[in-house]
Amino acid sequence: MKDLSQEYISLNAVTKIQNQDNTHNFYADKQAVDMYFKEHVEPNTKKFSSIEEKIGYLIENDYYDEEVLDKYDRKDVIDLFKKAKEYNFKFLNFMGAYKFYNSYCLKSFDGKYYLEEYTDRVSMNALLLAKGNIKSAYDILDAMLKGIFQPATPTFLNAGKKKRGEYVSCYLVRVEDNMESISRAISTSLQLSKRGGGVALCLTNLREFGAPIKKIQNQCTGIVPVMKLLEDSFSYANQLGQRQGAGAVYLNVHHPEVMTFLDTKRENADEKIRIKSLALGLVIPDITFTLAKNNEDMALFSPYDIQRVYGVPMSDISITKEYYNLLKDDRIKKTYISARKLFQTIAELHFESGYPYILFDDTVNMRNPQKKKGRIVMSNLCSEIAQVNTISTFKQDLSFENIGEDVCCNLGSINIAKMMENACDMEKIIDTCIVSLDSVSRLTDIDCAPSIRKGNEKNHAVGLGAMNLHGFLATNEIYYASNDAVDFTDAFFYTLAYYAFKASNKLAKNVGVFEGFEDSEYATGEYFKKYTEHEFTISSEKVKNLLEKYMLKLPTKEDWIKLAKDIKESGLANAHLLAVAPTGSISYVSSCTPSLQPVVSPIEVRKEGKLGRVYVPAYMIDDKNYKYYEKGAYEIGSEWIIDVAAAAAKHVDQAISLTLFMTDKATTRDLNKAYIRAFSKKCPSIYYLRIRQDILEGSEDHTCTSCVI
């Protein structure tokens, strides 16, 4: 594809220039969008005389999947595509247009032409997710073209395409302490990575270096060789060379090899153990913080001995509850390190690499609505998924002896600003979102991973999240670093949770209840006590006025009591409903601020391949609201970011991709304070740490491209 002159790049660059009177040239970015279409998109788009001709061509030439369209009368399909055009959709900024055409738009097999417009891609998403129900297709189309709802990248990218990857963002796989489980995990990772998914694996149960094998001492080579095999697997399954496969491994901090695990990411690590592309995640129980607070040594327990003595894998016991019993048990081998040294090492590694991710073990398991099924032992590549994985066992030929349950992520996001503009229709819109994500779970083909297929078929878990929080706050003259912002986040997610559960309850009457509902805390009502036993209140008068302005009606305690009763009687279609992902790529397409985090700066600078620097103005920024964007994530600091995430987390049944931002003047002490704050505020997880260096901001993006939505 060729450009005529690339004047749009020059126009986009004008956006960053501040005038002598302190005004800005935000108009230039809108002009860049128009010029981008004139110079690049239009000359490189294949022309058709009609929508009928276009759809016929795309089906006949194996671009569109006819099975998706055959669920509808062809006239209804044509009418939907025509209706989509009537919305007169326009990209709000250049980056959104560029991202769509560079990463999402259907292109000819030879790469010479664009074959879709944005409205076409949305139409195919609506038709796929509605599964033959044309009324539902129109509802999904409306929610997407109004900018309220955005499916995950894999769904949005692949919907309706003949040659496609999966609709699922990422997968979570348990690994047990035997060669069959390890081998199967590696082969499953290859298969899933081939299909475009990011894969996280739990290594907590693997015996440590030097542990016995067949009672012969000092035989086990530990977790690092397994990590090496996984890293090579993801490198090999590189999704047709488009991007390297993405993988993460999680380990409980009381595993004997935790320090070696962290050392694999050191810049100066020996090549024999160095892990370059595999992401690391830690599972940290409450007891670890207690030991660090008291400046005590922490015991590291042999997974081999725990399995032998307790009869269950290490990941399936609460280290916090069992710590002192394990300590007293002479049958359990243990070694000791300083708890404070562990946190110091984590902080050092965060500064070096941005890793590890952190999952707060007891926080997510306390909120786990399926405690009878098991424990949450890991998260995913972006640390927003918190679901139960169960054990699989294998025969010697690696076939399944017993298929356990593993996890896949069916994700989408609400644009908070656009949702608030349509707040009077919130119940209907959230209903549409839950139906859409439920469809992803039922359309997903993951036969290559039977344990994930089983987990998905039994749970149909989804993860509806949100983005553009800072955009909404700024355009309503609320500073991100304020109690008003925390109060609004609390109120919004309180309401979102209510309508999400109501939608899943309604859906259950049509598609059935997820398997195991009767053993969950949804069925007993325990999960809803925080709503049914307490009236929700807002202290901020500004937020009260804001909700009144947008006509957002908060559910009452009586509303929750009735909903909990309805759920007890007729169940839920989905075992999980809410999870807040990073929304890196899709927030650019939607021209809004990412996830719940503040913008990095009012005009973000990114490095985009051959284009070089691209300037991305914040959502609906102008000279009037500029001051509400002026302090970016690094200036705001971690405290307010954590407090906002904690307010949302009270109502999210899974987790939140919480990214921390620090300047290069920050110390490991500052970072440890952030860990403690996030832990004490009951945040479920910490995703990634970004350090501002004296380099082009955005030139290095560590966000997982498999998971972001």
Catalytic machinery residues: 380, 382, 384
In this structure, the chain runs to a length of 709
Q: Are strands 393-394 and 400-402 parallel, antiparallel or unpaired?
A: antiparallel
545: its two tokens:
């006025």
For 457-514, give the DSSP string: HHH---EEEEE-HHHHHHHTT--SSSHHHHHHHHHHHHHHHHHHHHHHHHHHHHH-PP
> What are the structure tokens assigned to 700, written together?
């290095």
From residue 350, alpha-carbon distances to 223, 265, 582, 594, 703 in Å are 21, 10, 18, 21, 14
Dump strand ranges (E) for 253-360.
279-284, 297-301, 334-338, 357-360
Q: Strands 685-686 and 357-360, how do they pair?
A: antiparallel
CA-nearest of 289, 371, 360, 370 to 323 is 289
**Is the CA virtual torsion 544, 547, 548, 552 positive or negative?**
negative
The answer to whether residues 677 and 638 touch, using CB atoms and an 8 Å cutoff, is yes
Token pair in block for residue 505: 């309850």
Rounded Cα distance between 124 and 157, Å, is 10
Please, is 484 exposed, middle or buried when counting C-beta atoms within 10 Å of its C-beta (0-12, 13-18, 19+)? buried
- Residue 132 CB coordination number (10 Å): 11
Residue 263 to residue 260: CA distance in whole angstroms:
5
Backbone angles phi, psi at 283, to 5 degrees: -105, 115
Look at residues 24, 111, 188 and name the one whose alpha carbon lies nearest to residue 617: 24
How crowded is residue 290: how many other Cβ atoms within 10 Å of its Cβ?
Answer: 14
